[in-house]
Structure formats: structure tokens, C-alpha cells
Amino acid sequence: MRGAIATKQYDRLIDYHRAGPDARLAVPTPEHYLPLLYVLGAQRDDESVHVAIDGIEIRSIGMLSFWVGSH
């Protein structure tokens, strides 16, 4: 996911369900994942993507969040 975002290979993110069982476990339902695609779709060519939050809560909830734009 991080590699696809860094290289703007967003088609890999759209077809996340084809990335194998780990991807399906990471995104069991799409309501928390799909907003990422909307944000990346609104990204301008001159904007970069940054990791805003990266962590695990309660040993199982991934809190990886991104923001788009300049810092």
C-alpha cells in the first residue's frame, strides 16, 4: 500500500481485494478504506502524500492515515 501510494500506482489500491488474503483481512469492509481512494483521486499533480498517523491500537487496529498537500 505504501509503495503504491509513493509511486502513484493507485490502480493497485483500487483492486486491493486481489492482493491476497492479507489485504482482505486488512480491509474486511470498505467503509474505512474507500475514503483514501477519494482523497488520492483529488490529489493534484504537484501535491505529495504524507503519513499522518501510523500505529496499532489495542494490538489489532491499524491507524494508518495519510494527508495530501504540502506541509
Taking the domains of the chain in order of start, what are their residue ranges? 2-68
Q: How far out from the chain centre does Cα 6 lie?
A: 10
DSSP class of residue 56?
E
Q: What is the DSSP string of 19-52?
A: G-HHHHHH-SSGGGTHHHHHHHHT--TT--EEEE
Pairing of strands 61-62, 56-57: antiparallel
27 compared with 71, residue with greater pLDDT? 27
Cα-Cα-Cα-Cα torsion 56, 65, 29, 11, nearest 10 degrees, comes to -130
Predicted confidence (pLDDT) at residue 12 exceeds the cutoff of 70? yes
The per-residue pLDDT for 71 is: 58
Task: Note the pLDDT tens digit of each residue in 18-49.
Answer: 888 988 888 888 888 899 999 899 899 889 89
Say how far apart CA 60 and CA 14 lie, in whole Å. Answer: 23
